[in-house]
Amino acid sequence: MSKLFHFSGTDDFCPRGSIYPNPKESSLLLSLGRHVDVYFPSRKRSRVSAPFVFSGERFEQKKPSIELLPDECLFEIFRRLPGGKERSACACVSKRWLTLVSNIRIDEISDNKTTEALNIKGVDSEIEDQDVEGGGYLSRSLEGKKATDVRLAAVAVGTATRGGLGKLFIRGNNSSRGVTTVGLRAISRGCPSLRVLSLWNLSSVGDEGLREIADGCHQLQKFDLCHCPAITNESLLAIAKGCPDLTDLTIEGCANIGNEGIQAIARCCPNLKSLSIKDCPHVGDLGIASLLTSVSFSLTKVKLQALNISDVSLAVIGHYGKAMTDLYLAGLPNVSEKGFWVMGNGHGLQKLKSFTVKACLGVTDLGLEAVGKGCPNLKQFCLSKCALLSDNGLVSFAKSAGSLESLELEECHRVTHFGFFGSLLNCGPKFKAISIVNCLGIRDLNLRLPLSHGESLRSLSIRNCPGFGDANLAALGKLCPQLQNVDLSGLHGVTDAGFLSLLESCEAGLVKVNLSGCLNLSDKAVCKMADSHGWTLEMLNIDCCCKISDVSLIAVAENCQLISELDVSKCAITDSGITALARSSMINLQILSVAGCTMISDKSLPSIAKLGQNLLGLNLQQCKGISSGAIDLLVEQLWRCDILF
């Protein structure tokens, strides 16, 4: 054999010599058949999947790549990775890998026994996936252009092992590249702990996407669906079956949702506590009635707005609303006086505490009196744009609602000063706040009223009522001596005389005062208020009171030790007033607004900087006397303060 290994000559196997530098290895003798044995060099076996490319006169072999594997193989690899950190790293490689990783369900993730074996042998794998999975502690929000399938897939992968996604809010813009079924499928598979889902303005989301959510997110409790035109009753059917623990449901602007979907919720979600339906033309009495009768012992909050329901729905509410505490009815054109009368006499709203009615022509004196009698525990009542309500109905309601604490009237033009003062005189001892907004029927008349009857009233708000003047204000001061919060914004008929009479009658001390838009008030009223109520005053708004000058700021600086919020926008304030505020060692302002004060200049910069040591908010908008350089300097110095300029 040695001669064979050292053989040379013209009869060599290879004419140019041995084919090996060291041909003494017996393992190189390979058989190619029965009759021929040749030497062949040792080498690694080539990958079958690696293609050859012909270039010139030789073949070139491409480097092997994992991208050549089909999706099924990559999916099996990804689900066998030891933990979420590794899967997240893989998801960052490409959109293809992100899509594959995001489609792995939690129950499809395989336990890595190889990693456990290595750990037993002492190999440190440093797997950091011991985080709590499925807790649902994280919250994510996607808005506008950021609301895409790719971002949803990234959210699903990133939150899966970091506490779990509990709340997801998506505010789309109805673009062509918005959220589709693909993104919602990723959420359903990677976020089974999802409890709150809010979808707004998503025209590309249909029933298939919500079916994915229903199949994977069985812990869903709160679901908001607003302005999603492609959603139909099929989605609500799937949500009802897949998410029986649903407690809060909001549907708005979904024209394809009707009674069938609402009935499915009624059958499958016995724990529903809050319901809000707005602008859904196909939802009628059948859906509302079936829902209220099915969850009468759990439903506490109901909001019905712009629906084609009739008196039947209100009758059902009055009879089956046994657990209801909050009721909101707005824009119901088919509801008449009979509906409110039957609802009040149904004796089912014994627990109702808050009731709001807006733009319902069915609210009349008779119906409102029945509501007051049928809701003995009502505390907050709001009426807006009820054109048929008059003084008699308001006074009758005040007499029957003995537990009422707060009353708000807005754009009820048939209510006059007689109804306003009559409700104050007839409300119970728990009545604390009244608000009258833009009621054109109120006039300023001298009335003989009993003294100190409304001692429980603490908050008074009369806004944008052009007929309200000094006489009414003086009467209110005598009737309600314990006022603490006063809002008289937009009352052009109030002068110093009326406001001073109110100040003289207030015994408890004013805490919050809003006089914005009271054009006829001057420094006399503000100085008197600072002198007599400065020991309790915390907030003062005299925006657009053009007769207010530096004199008022000096009085505030000297007397108001507790004031934290001051708005003197568009007043006759100069640098001297700002200096007086800065010199005071007693006040501790947190919010200051001098917007539109054109007489303030750069000279106030040191004073504003001194005040800014405690300020959290500063409004310098439309202060034309302050240069941009001074504002830049303030922004640099007052880094803790939110500055508007």
| Residues 141-169: tens digit of each pLDDT | 999 888 988 889 888 888 877 778 999 99
* Cα–Cα distance list, 578 to 421, 588, 639 (Å): 41, 14, 20
> What does the DSSP 8-state code read for residue 572?
B
570 located within any domain: no
pLDDT for position 157: 84
> What does the DSSP 8-state code read for residue 567?
E
pLDDT for position 111: 58
348-392 pLDDT, tens digit each: 999 999 999 999 999 999 999 999 999 999 999 999 999 999 999
pLDDT for position 455: 79
pLDDT for position 64: 66
Q: Cβ(531)–Cβ(510) under 8 Å? A: no
Tell which of 104, 125, 147 closes a domain. 104
pLDDT for position 172: 86
Identify the three-state secondary structure at position 264. helix
| Token reading at 201 | 């303005």
Token pair 């999916």 is found at: 75
pLDDT for position 16: 43
pLDDT for position 542: 96
Q: Cβ(375)–Cβ(347) under 8 Å? A: no
Q: Is the pLDDT of residue 515 over 70?
A: yes
Average per-residue pLDDT for the chain = 85
Q: What is the extent of the structural domain holding 627?
A: 587-644
Q: Cβ(529)–Cβ(537) under 8 Å? A: yes
pLDDT for position 116: 44
Read off the pLDDT of each residue in 552-560 and give the average, rounded to a whole number.
95
| Token reading at 25 | 């290895």
Confidence band of 170 (pLDDT split at 50, 70, 90): very high
CB within 8 Å of 70: residues ≥ 6 apart? none
pLDDT for position 95: 80
Alpha-carbon torsion 504, 505, 506, 512, what sign? negative
pLDDT for position 126: 36
> What does the DSSP 8-state code read for residue 228?
-
Closest CA to 108 of 75, 151, 71: 75
| Among 54-63, 103-112, 182-191, 222-231, the least confident range | 54-63
100 located within any domain: yes
Confidence band of 61 (pLDDT split at 50, 70, 90): low
606 located within any domain: yes
pLDDT for position 176: 64
633 located within any domain: yes
Alpha-carbon span 104 to 190, nearest angstrom = 7
Pairing of β 37-39 and β 29-31 = antiparallel
Alpha-carbon span 264 to 234, nearest angstrom = 10
Q: Is the pLDDT of residue 45 over 80?
A: no
Confidence band of 88 (pLDDT split at 50, 70, 90): confident
Q: Is the pLDDT of residue 65 over 90?
A: no
Closest CA to 98 of 152, 179, 40, 161: 152
Instruction: Name the domain count of the chain.
Output: 2
Tell which of 104, 130, 156 closes a domain. 104
Identify the three-state secondary structure at position 626. coil
Helices (H) and strands (E) in the chain, counts: 23, 24
Where b means 16+ CB within 10 Å and e means fewer, 58-93 reads eeeeeeeeeeeeeeeebbeebbebbbbbbbbebbee
477 located within any domain: no
pLDDT for position 71: 75
390-443 pLDDT, tens digit each: 999 999 999 999 899 999 999 999 999 899 999 998 888 899 999 999 999 998
Read off the pLDDT of each residue in 71-80 and give the average, rounded to a whole number.
80
298-327 pLDDT, tens digit each: 999 999 999 999 999 999 999 999 999 999
239-253 pLDDT, tens digit each: 999 999 999 999 999
| Among 125-129, 197-201, 609-613, the least confident range | 125-129
Alpha-carbon span 223 to 221, nearest angstrom = 7
Instruction: Work out the number of other CB atoms within 10 angstroms of the CB of residue 492.
Output: 14
pLDDT for position 149: 87
Alpha-carbon span 112 to 139, nearest angstrom = 29
pLDDT for position 174: 58
DSSP string covering 145-183: GG--HHHHHHHHHHHTTTT-EEEEEEE----TTS--HHH
Alpha helices for 295-416 (secondary structure H): 311-320, 337-344, 365-374, 391-400
pLDDT for position 19: 41
The DSSP element (H or E) to which 382 belongs, if any, is strand 380-384
Q: Is the pLDDT of residue 335 over 50?
A: yes
Q: Which amino acid is at 266?
A: A
600 located within any domain: yes
Closest CA to 210 of 100, 158, 220: 220
For 56-192, list the strands marked E by DSSP.
58-61, 138-143, 165-171
pLDDT for position 119: 44
pLDDT for position 74: 81
75 located within any domain: yes
Tell which of 47, 81, 104 closes a domain. 104
Token pair 């207010």 is found at: 548
pLDDT for position 133: 44
| Among 318-332, 436-450, 501-515, 576-590, the least confident range | 436-450
pLDDT for position 96: 82
Alpha-carbon span 195 to 49, nearest angstrom = 46
Which has more confidence, 99 or 217?
Answer: 217
Closest CA to 418 of 446, 453, 385, 387: 446
pLDDT for position 251: 97
593 located within any domain: yes
| Token reading at 6 | 């050292």
